[in-house]
Chain A
Amino acid sequence: MSSAAYSALLVAVMSAVTILLRAAPFLIFKKKTPAYVMYLGKVLPAAIIGMLVVYCLKDVKIVSAPFGAPELIAGLLVVGLHAWKRNILLSILAGTAAYMLLTQLVF
């Protein structure tokens, strides 16, 4: 299979699985939702966001220069700004701009 065809297959898989997740409750839980499923629904999102933060930073080299400094500085900026202003777009824009400036001009 060519790499374009394989990529297209993966896009189709992502689409199908996303649709299945969104539709599943309408197909399965006609009456009552199991307590365990409700529990996972409450705790999984927070855990998965934590997982995705690590996923995004997986290739950062902390044992060689610049020792992950741009990621650390920009990441802390996002945390601080978000805790202060609680505006998700502002946090993303400022953090990304800071990271781009740091990697292009400083490190």
Chain B
Amino acid sequence: MKTVKAAFMKSLPVMAGYIILGIGFGILADHAGYGFLWVLAMSLFIFAGSMQYVGIGLLAGGASVLTVILTTVMVNARHLFYSISMLRYYRNAGPYKPYLIFSLTDETYSLLCDGKVPEGTDPDRYRFLVSLFNHSYWVLGSVIGSLISNILPFSSAGIEFSMTALFIASFTEQWITTQDHVPAITGLLGTLLCLVAFGPERFLIPAMLLITLLLTLFRNRISTGKEANT
């Protein structure tokens, strides 16, 4: 019981964010013609906020399987690095290990990355419960969004801008917190170039390839500090 309470308290800061972003996702999906069951399935089985927002666009546009694979890899590539830094905590987590790995989102990572666990709790069970609470907020929020989409007392036209706002705010945040802006500018300008060159329907894959290529070429110029090994 103590572990459950400690995990719940730890997860509280994520609750409001996940429920509100989840509601936004549910409404957006409903507008695109993907109702309750689609929203439930996506939030249960994908559990990656940005990817689900982008994913609705891909579904609605009937994107190719290759585009979906590459987009998912690029949008979620950062999860590789969350896993790398959690290797030592999750490696021997026994029966909790598969779920811990599955549910390692940005927010869950931000809560658990320091490795600290309250005294007197089982570390694996504690981390499992924090992840599970976060997952449940996300599912709950998105399902609520899906259900209230049609009964909102105001027109929800323009709600799709919540995704744009999410990425612009994230962009601003990382701009403020990093010294080297070459990666951010590369992403912005490289994509813009491909949008102009290839058009809005088929610029995503060229953009991802160009960004990876450019960042590889810039490798010796970008100061990333110490490249730590795990």
A-to-B contact residues, CB < 8 Å? 3, 6-7, 9-15, 17-19, 21-26, 29, 32-33, 35-59, 70-71, 74-75, 78-79, 82-83, 86, 88-89, 91-93, 95-96, 99-100, 102-104
Contacts and interface: CB of A to CB of B under 8 A. Distances in A.
Interface in B19-57: 20-21, 24, 34, 38, 41-42, 45-48, 50-52, 54-55
A49 B170 CA distance: 7
Given A22-B101, A46-B174, A56-B164, A92 B207 contact: no
A41 B78 contact: yes
Nearest to B169: A91
A3 to B, nearest CB: 7
Contact of A78 (B20, B42, B169): B169
Given A51-B191, A89-B16, A103-B158, A59 B200 contact: yes
Given A24-B83, A93-B20, A17 B72 contact: yes
Q: Name which of A13, A22, A39, A89 has the most chain B CB atoms within 10 A of its CB.
A: A22
B113 interface: no
Q: Place the interface of chain B in its size category.
A: 35 or more
A54 B193 CA distance: 10
Nearest to B80: A21
A56 B215 CA distance: 22
Q: Classify the secondary structure of A's interface with B.
A: helix
24 contacts: A11-B41, A11-B45, A13-B68, A18-B79, A19-B101, A19-B102, A22-B104, A35-B229, A38-B84, A40-B215, A46-B178, A47-B186, A49-B174, A50-B191, A51-B187, A54-B192, A54-B207, A55-B54, A58-B200, A82-B169, A83-B172, A91-B169, A96-B162, A104-B158
A2 to B, nearest CB: 12
A75 B168 contact: yes
Contact of B173 (A18, A43, A86): A86
B76 interface: yes
Contacts of B46: 11, 14-15, 18
B167 interface: yes
Residue picked from B68, B169, B191, most chain A C-beta under 10 Å: B169
Interface stretch (B119-127, B143-151, B220-228): B220-228
A47 B158 contact: no
User: Which 5 A-B residue pairs are closest in the complex by CB-CB distance?
Assistant: A50-B187, A47-B187, A95-B165, A41-B81, A50-B188
Interface stretch (B1-9, B59-67, B133-141): B59-67
Given A33-B229, A89-B17, A51 B190 contact: yes
Contacts of B96: none
B161 A100 contact: yes
Interface string B98-133: 000110100000000000000000000000000000
